Structure 1
Amino acid sequence: MPNIKPVSDLRNYNEVLRDVAEGEPVFLTKNGRGKYVLIDLADYEKNQATMKLMAQLVEGEKAGREKGWLSLNEVEKSLGL
């Protein structure tokens, strides 16, 4: 169940921060609408790493389409296997 609180609860931010845990973000609302999310630092770092990996995969796919794909033997040879 999502943990949703009004942004005005940040006046007592220690209580709000106690509710933030890995895998359990706290969603803050402003004027009754979703506005902010507080997440655990480990979750943030995982999200950043995932976005970076996804961007690199998109670049790799684009390069494969433009320059051609490598065979398994070519990959192993380039890696020295």
Structure 2
Amino acid sequence: MRKEVGFGGKVISNEVLKNCHKGEPVYLTKNVRGGFVVVDIEDYERDHAEKKLLMKLQESEEVVKDCEGWLNLDELKVMVEE
């Protein structure tokens, strides 16, 4: 079965999609301007997970800057004993 995706009056067929390989994004342009990027699904999912992780790390850094969420040793001992 041949799958076709329209883009700017052109057709992207399975033949073009076969050129998409893991770790090698394919950039689709129109009039020399970037329009879309076709990437391997595993690459997309990894990049998406990395982005979510970086956002969580940034949130954590902001909490640390505000000195919220940190426990001193005595507070930690009390929590562990409970």
TM over 0.5: yes
Structural mapping, 1:41-80, within 5 Å: 41-68=41-68, 70=70
Residue 55 to residue 12, structure 1, CA distance change in 2 (3 Å): closer
Name the SS for the 1:52 alignment partner.
helix
Q: Return the alpha-carbon distance in structure 1 between the equivalents of residues 20 and 46 of structure 2.
A: 16
User: Counterpart in 2 of 1:35?
Assistant: 35
Residue pair 1:22, 1:42 contacting (<8 A) in 2 also:
yes
What TM-score comes out, normalization by structure 1 length? 0.69
Gaps in structure 2 of 5+ consecutive residues: 1-6
Runs of 4+ in 1 over 6 A off after TM superposition: none
Name the SS for the 1:35 alignment partner.
strand
- The answer to whether 1:17 aligns with 2:17 is yes
Task: Figure out how many residues of one structure are paired with residues of the other and give that number.
Answer: 70
Gaps in structure 1 of 5+ consecutive residues: 1-6
- Cα RMSD, aligned residues only: 2.8
User: Based on CA coordinates, which of the two structures has the bigger radius of gyration?
Assistant: 2
With CA pairs under 8 Å and 6+ residues apart, which has the higher RCO, 1 or 2?
Answer: 1
Name the SS for the 2:62 alignment partner.
helix
Higher helix share: 1
Residue identity matched to 1:65: K
